Structure 1
Amino acid sequence: MTLSFPNPSRSFDEGRKGVRFIGHDGVFEVPFFIEADALEKLGSETGRLDTSPAGCLSAFDRRRTAIHDVAREVHTNRRRTSYTLNAADFR
């Protein structure tokens, strides 16, 4: 089954400085976390990332499709129970 993201919810994790979101592989929830550095790399064409909760969530929303595409690729290649996406995952 293909990883999907039917729930658009996401949340900022203050302790880890990044955004949490959930994918679904069939009936299984697959938790993801994307580090603020990865969000900054994705938004590099617009300058430095505002690392506040609102800034990170906004950056996530602007690049949601690209983030979901990388999450699918990582899930396919690394089968785990949870994933952390970092700047190196975004070529």
Structure 2
Amino acid sequence: MALFSSVNESLIVALEFPNPSRSYDASRHCVCFWGYDNSREITFQVDDAMLRNLQPDAGSDERSILGAFDQFREKLLEIARKRYVSGPQNRYSLS
């Protein structure tokens, strides 16, 4: 007779970033991008100061800020994944 153990599996939240879109919000001085937890859209905002810390020679115009975001995209997505917690919150600020 074979014995089978039951394993208690916990749900792992998988935050995905299938959409490479990002936009600069001049009024908030941040770059916005979006992740998805199943069908839930989660908004992330990275402020200009954080991007300039990552790339000190970045200008302050939209093109420069978006370029800094693009250069450090993978690092920023990693930070977003670590900050994200499944639940009712659907907006996160990275600074």
Q: TM-score, normalised by structure 1?
A: 0.83
What is the 5 A alignment of 1:21-40?
Answer: 21-40=33-52
**Structure 1: stretches of 5+ with no match in the other structure:** 87-91
| SS of aligned partner of 2:93 | strand
Q: C-alpha separation between the residues in 2 aligned to 1:17 and 1:80?
A: 21
Q: C-alpha separation between the residues in 2 aligned to 1:79 and 1:48?
A: 37
User: Which structure carries more relative contact order (alpha carbon 8 Å, separation 6+)?
Assistant: 1
Where does structure 1 differ by over 2 angstroms across 4 or more consecutive aligned residues? Answer: 76-80
The structure with the largest alpha-carbon Rg is 2
RMSD: 1.7
- 1:76 aligned to 2:85? yes
Alpha-carbon deviations, 1:2-48, whole Å to 9, x = none? 111000000000101110000011110000110000101112xxx33
- 1:61 aligned to 2:70? yes
**Structure 2: stretches of 5+ with no match in the other structure:** 1-12
Alpha-carbon deviations, 1:30-68, whole Å to 9, x = none? 00110000101112xxx3321111011000000000000
1:6 corresponding residue in structure 2: 18
2:10 corresponding residue in structure 1: none
Name the aligned partner's letter for residue 55 of structure 1. S
Q: TM-score, normalised by structure 2?
A: 0.80
**Residue correspondences, number:** 83
Query: Residues 70, 55 of structure 1: CA spacing in aligned structure 2 closer, same or farther, 3 A cutoff?
Result: same
Which is worse superposed, 73-82 or 9-18? 73-82
Name the aligned partner's letter for residue 35 of structure 1. D
